[in-house]
């Protein structure tokens, strides 16, 4: 039997400590049976304690990597993470407009867990107006949703439902992530085709939460070509993330917010 192995592309920044950005994305792709490819937008000097510096690539370099890859390799799904600047957003949007590789999941990364800005403040409008209309699913956390909508941050699941529906006027699909709320469950809301689906997972008590958003959006991109709907892909992606948060207890990486742990899931292995 020949396995279907989708090729998935991440467009994102780096994290030498292996918890977020390109490293998290590629590990997630592999763990979920996809072949990972990557286009770098920024070289970020960071560890589990925080961000010490950002070397931002220019739009031409990012578009050059993208076009060169897509000239040769067919991709079955795209995940977009940290973009950094208006210039890079505009370059990525231009390539998506011209080549329309689908489906595209956008994690609108704005601020790192440590508080350091990863997106220039003037780039939020460019993301909202130029990039979001071109993608299939956006996965904002609560501060990102508030920034995109120009409103205060949601403090309850009811607030989240209002904001997820408001964001659905801007994007084809929305997964509003509730990791920043407190409570026994960590709730996310998906709005696709006017239908709202709630996903609840037990909140894992751990300091190892670095890269949860990167992992979730990458898992959705890896699974979407292998599943029939966004609802199923998101449900399984969240299950994967919850497992990776639990497995993070086996790790002792750095002294700050440690990474979640990606593990090889022995499922549907055609070779055994």
Ligand X SMILES: Nc1ncnc2c1ncn2[C@@H]1O[C@H](COP(=O)(O)OP(=O)(O)OP(=O)(O)O)[C@@H](O)[C@H]1O
Q: Which residues contact 223 (CB under 8 A, 6 or more apart)?
A: 32, 232, 233, 236, 237
Within 13 Å of residue 198, how many CA atoms lie on the same side as its CB?
A: 9
238 binds ligand X (CB under 6 A): yes
CB of 63 to ligand X, least distance (A): 25
116 binds ligand X (CB under 6 A): no
Comparing CB distances to ligand X, the nearer of 39 and 214 is 214
CB of 237 to ligand X, least distance (A): 8
Task: Give me 56's structure tokens.
Answer: 């931002």
In angstroms, the CA 184 to CA 262 distance is 23
| End-to-end Cα separation, the chain, in angstroms | 11
Of ligand X, ligand MP5, none, which one sits near residue 81, judging by CB under 5 to 8 A according to partner kind? Answer: ligand MP5
Q: Where are any strands of DSSP class E within the chain?
A: 7-13, 35-47, 50-56, 77-80, 104-106, 137-138, 173-177, 185-192, 195-202
209 noted as active-site residue: yes
245 binds ligand X (CB under 6 A): yes
Question: By the 8 A CB rule, do 18 and 259 touch?
Answer: yes
Candidates 33, 179, 243, 258: give the one binding ligand X (CB under 6 A): 179
CB of 243 to ligand X, least distance (A): 10
CB of 236 to ligand X, least distance (A): 12
Of ligand MP5, ligand X, none, which one sits near residue 204, judging by CB under 5 to 8 A according to partner kind? Answer: ligand X
Catalytic residue numbers, as ranges: 177, 209, 211-214
Q: Which residues bind ligand MP5 (CB under 6 A)?
A: 12-15, 20-21, 44, 46, 81-82, 109, 112-113, 118, 210-211, 213-214
């Amino acid at each position: 039997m020949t396995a279907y192995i989708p090729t998935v592309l991440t467009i994102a920044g780096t994290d030498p400590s292996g918890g977020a950005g390109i490293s998290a994305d590629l590990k997630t792709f592999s763990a979920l049976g996809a072949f990972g490819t990557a286009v770098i937008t920024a070289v970020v000097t960071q560890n589990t304690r925080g961000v010490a510096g950002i070397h931002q690539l220019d739009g031409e370099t990012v578009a050059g990597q993208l076009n060169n890859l897509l000239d040769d390799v067919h991709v079955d799904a795209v995940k977009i993470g940290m973009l950094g600047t208006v210039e890079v957003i505009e370059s990525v949007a231009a390539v998506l407009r011209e080549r329309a590789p689908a489906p595209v999941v956008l994690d609108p990364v704005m601020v790192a867990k440590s508080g350091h800005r990863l997106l220039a403040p003037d780039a939020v409008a460019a993301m909202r107006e130029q990039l979001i209309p071109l993608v299939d699913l956006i996965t904002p956390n609560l501060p990102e949703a508030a920034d995109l909508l120009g409103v205060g941050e949601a403090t309850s699941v009811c607030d989240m439902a209002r904001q997820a529906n408001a964001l659905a006027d801007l994007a084809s699909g929305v997964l509003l992530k509730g990791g920043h709320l407190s409570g026994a469950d960590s709730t996310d809301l998906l709005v696709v085709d006017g239908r709202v689906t709630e996903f609840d997972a037990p909140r894992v008590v751990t300091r190892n939460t670095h890269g949860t958003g990167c992992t979730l959006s990458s898992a959705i991109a890896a699974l979407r070509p292998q599943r029939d709907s966004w609802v199923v892909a998101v449900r399984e992606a969240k299950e994967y993330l919850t497992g990776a948060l639990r497995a993070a207890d086996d790790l002792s990486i750095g002294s700050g917010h440690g990474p979640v742990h990606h593990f090889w899931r022995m499922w549907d292995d055609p070779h055994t």
